[in-house]
Amino acid sequence: MNSASTTSADATWPSWVLVVAAVLVSGLLLAGPALRRRYPVAWWLLAGFPAVALRVASTWRPLMAGCGLAMSRRPALTVVSGLVGNGAAPPQPRVPRLGLIRPTAGGFWLLVRLLPGQVPEDFVKAGPAMAEDWGVHAVRVTSWKPGVVRIAASAADPLAAPRIPRTRGPGQLLRVTVGALETGAAWVVDLRRVPHWLIVGATRSGKSTLINALVAGLAPQPVALVGIDCKGGMELSLYEPRLSALATNREQAVRLLAALVDLTLDRMTVCRAARVRNIWGLPEKERPVPVVVIVDEIAELFLVASRNEKDEAQAAGTALIRLAQLGAALGVFLVVAGQRVGSDLGPGVTALRAQLGGRVCHRVADPGTAEMALGDLNPDALKAAQAITPEQAGTAVLASGDGWERARSHLITEADAESIAAEYSHLTPNLSDLHVEAL
């Protein structure tokens, strides 16, 4: 009796397992897209990564051979093995050994030791082929240490929809998270580390959106914001309640910039008297408020039609360069945006560019502007900037002396920026020396 019931249970359990498995699989298939959207990281780690890792391991040898990264054995060895091996296949070419494949939140990375005679650039060139072969969005190859390269792959474009952090507060002084980097990390603009910025991009490429994100982050902080918008104030007047001064034409801009230079020189006198090298060395109570000067459309300041305008443009250019030279130590920071930033705007532009260490290049209409923004720092970044499409508004290439990165700003709309500026209008420092009407 007992044995009969065991037998019938034995006969039925596989069908139960099959039913449960079928339900689970069909449930996963049905709920998959929703789960993937809701828990992208968990989905990638549990389902995407194992499949891609398997693919990387199984196609590594042919991929290396196809990219010219395999090395054939010495001919003598092949001949000897042909003689001794009785027609057996000659030894396979040597390929670089595949390191451990390690997952990240949206991709994976691995280290590869180079074979004798190989250089990291050989692998950099093979990056696009690796991305195609593994079915991932992009592969970046960097030198890890002598003889070893790091291959990092991102499964999907992390900049397609960067997640906006939920909390918005004052945070660290002069430090703002404005978007996301391609690595998935936060894109942070830290004015104390890099005091002056040049933001370029064609029309509707995302310059003002980036400025919105910057203003939204700075508005809750104890800083003064000053706007120069010679497009008649169309862009920056949104934040007027939070601005300590706003110039909307070139004449006002020249006066405002001259007043800013005076303010900077006054601060210099204060620092010299206190025997400190910058305002951060002053006691907190005596420290003047940091001033962030935002210039939207630099070309409006520099382009001239008449002789009179030429003098104004020159005065504006000289004042900006002086601010950039002196400002970092004295708490005056520049954020300069423009569609076209070329030497045709005047000799001052090249000198100003040299002072603006932070560079952000959105999609550009002419290669000259990308070159102006990135070329002197990093020629590789130029190609990446020229590959940005109009659909990817807000995407930009960031360059500094150490290298370059792709990033995308958070979409802070004009309405958001406007309401944030109004919300923090009570924090607007009153810098009466800068009021354009009174200047």
Ligand X SMILES: Nc1ncnc2c1ncn2[C@@H]1O[C@H](COP(=O)(O)OP(=O)(O)OP(=O)(O)O)[C@@H](O)[C@H]1O
Q: Which chain residues interact with ligand X by CB under 6 A?
A: 201, 203-209, 339, 393-394, 408-409, 411
The residues with which 154 forms a beta bridge, in sequence order, are 107, 138
196 or 207: CB nearest Mg ion: 207
Quick one: how far is CA 93 from the chain centroid? 40
162: Cβ contacts below 8 Å, ≥ 6 apart: 179, 180, 408, 410
Residue 204: which of ligand X, Mg ion, none does it interact with, CB under 5 to 8 A by kind? Answer: ligand X
Residue 357: which of ligand X, Mg ion, none does it interact with, CB under 5 to 8 A by kind? Answer: none
Closest C-alpha among 182, 149, 153 to residue 55: 153
Residue 40: which of ligand X, Mg ion, none does it interact with, CB under 5 to 8 A by kind? Answer: none
Tell me: is residue 204 an annotated ligand-binding position: yes
233 or 290: CB nearest ligand X: 233
**Hey, how many other C-beta atoms are within 10 angstroms of the C-beta on 213?**
25
Residue 392: which of ligand X, Mg ion, none does it interact with, CB under 5 to 8 A by kind? Answer: none
271 or 360: CB nearest ligand X: 360
Tell me: is residue 8 an annotated ligand-binding position: no
Residue 206: which of ligand X, Mg ion, none does it interact with, CB under 5 to 8 A by kind? Answer: ligand X
Q: How far is the CB of 396 from ligand X (least distance, A)?
A: 9
Q: How far is the CB of 341 from Mg ion (least distance, A)?
A: 14
Q: How far is the CB of 185 from Mg ion (least distance, A)?
A: 26
Nearest-angstrom CA–CA distance, 178 and 400: 17
Residue 339: which of ligand X, Mg ion, none does it interact with, CB under 5 to 8 A by kind? Answer: ligand X
Nearest-angstrom CA–CA distance, 348 and 355: 11
The answer to whether 208 contacts Mg ion (rule: CB under 5 A) is yes
Tell me: is residue 237 an annotated ligand-binding position: no
Tell me: is residue 401 an annotated ligand-binding position: no
209 or 428: CB nearest ligand X: 209
Q: How far is the CB of 321 from ligand X (least distance, A)?
A: 23
Nearest-angstrom CA–CA distance, 5 and 68: 64
Q: How far is the CB of 235 from ligand X (least distance, A)?
A: 6
Tell me: is residue 207 an annotated ligand-binding position: yes
Sole window of 26-34, 120-128, 165-173, 199-207 interacting with Mg ion (rule: CB under 5 A) = 199-207
Q: How far is the CB of 346 from Mg ion (least distance, A)?
A: 22
Q: How far is the CB of 411 from ligand X (least distance, A)?
A: 4
255 or 362: CB nearest ligand X: 362
Sole window of 7-15, 120-128, 206-214, 309-317 interacting with Mg ion (rule: CB under 5 A) = 206-214
Tell me: is residue 169 an annotated ligand-binding position: no
**Residue 206, both tokens:** 């995302």
Nearest-angstrom CA–CA distance, 58 and 355: 50
Question: What is the CA angle 239-240-244, rounded to 5?
Answer: 110
132 or 366: CB nearest ligand X: 366
Asked if residues 298 and 341 have their Cβ atoms less than 8 Å apart, the reply is yes
Residue 355: which of Mg ion, ligand X, none does it interact with, CB under 5 to 8 A by kind? Answer: none
Residue 201: which of Mg ion, ligand X, none does it interact with, CB under 5 to 8 A by kind? Answer: ligand X
174 or 199: CB nearest ligand X: 199
Name the residue with the smallest CB distance to ligand X: 394
CA distances from 185 to 219, 241, 252, 408, 413 (A): 23, 32, 40, 11, 22
Q: How far is the CB of 211 from ligand X (least distance, A)?
A: 8
Q: How far is the CB of 236 from ligand X (least distance, A)?
A: 11
**Residue 34, both tokens:** 């929703």
For the chain, helix, strand, coil in percent to 5 are 50, 20, 30
332: Cβ contacts below 8 Å, ≥ 6 apart: 260, 263, 264, 267, 290, 291, 293, 323, 326
**Residue 46, both tokens:** 């549990």
369 burial type by CB count under 10 A (0-12 exposed, 13-18 middle, 19+ buried):
buried
Question: What is the CA angle 116-120-123, rounded to 5?
Answer: 100
Asked if residues 75 and 83 have their Cβ atoms less than 8 Å apart, the reply is no
Q: Which contacts of 7-14 are long-range, i.e. CB under 8 A and separated by 24 or more positions?
A: none
Tell me: is residue 206 an annotated ligand-binding position: yes
Residue 252: which of Mg ion, ligand X, none does it interact with, CB under 5 to 8 A by kind? Answer: none
Residues 355-414 that bind Mg ion (CB under 5 A): none
Binding-site members for ATP are 201-208
Binding-site members are 201-208
Residues in contact with Mg ion by CB under 5 A are 207-208
